[in-house]
Amino acid sequence: MNRLPVGRLFRTDAGSDLVLTRAFRAPMEDVWASLTEPDRTARWFGPWEGDPGPGRTIRVQMAYEEGEPWCDMLIEACEPPRRLAVATLDEQGSWRLEMLLAEADGVTELRFTHHLDTEEAIGEVGPGWEYYLDLLVASRDGTALPDFGDYYPAMKPYYDGLRS
């Protein structure tokens, strides 16, 4: 696969936002289900368990990471079918993620934002999110799942360059 990186970096008062987008020829509610239903998230990210809702914590399995670890994820906002914001804290630090959906003319756009505390690891983080979002695309299209080796280290220079 010869995929080009699409992530963009925006400076904010709180830090930096790494933003990636994907478009789906599908209703927004169906894309929302791919982001929130455990059997569908298992196809591209990993399953989750727990009682979901704003202010609640669920357990999510990182099924495409080495060792397939489970982590706690706090649901900061859940506004079906348009907005999901979550946060996780682990040995990598805290990660705040937000997914916004918008639909027009039969196409739903996913705007994925990683609210970064620091840009230090963007060269690793950016290719990782490209990979996961392409896993989402493949899981919805029924096509072969991508290989992380096609994303990293090939996309690292692009993402490191966003810090300039």
**What local confidence, expressed as pLDDT, does residue 2 receive?**
60
**Is position 3 within any domain?**
no
Number of domains in the chain: 1
**What local confidence, expressed as pLDDT, does residue 90 receive?**
72
**What local confidence, expressed as pLDDT, does residue 3 receive?**
84
**Is position 79 within any domain?**
yes
Rg over CA atoms, the chain: 15
Q: Give a three-class secondary structure readout of 106-127.
A: CEEEEEEEEEECCCCCHHHHHH
Residue range(s) defining the domain that contains residue 116: 8-161
pLDDT along the chain (164 residues), means of 10: 88 96 98 97 96 96 90 97 93 87 98 96 97 97 96 98 91
**Is position 115 within any domain?**
yes
Strand ordering across the sheet containing 15-24: 8-12, 15-24, 107-116, 93-104, 83-90, 70-79, 57-61, 48-49
**Is position 149 within any domain?**
yes
**What local confidence, expressed as pLDDT, does residue 89 receive?**
72
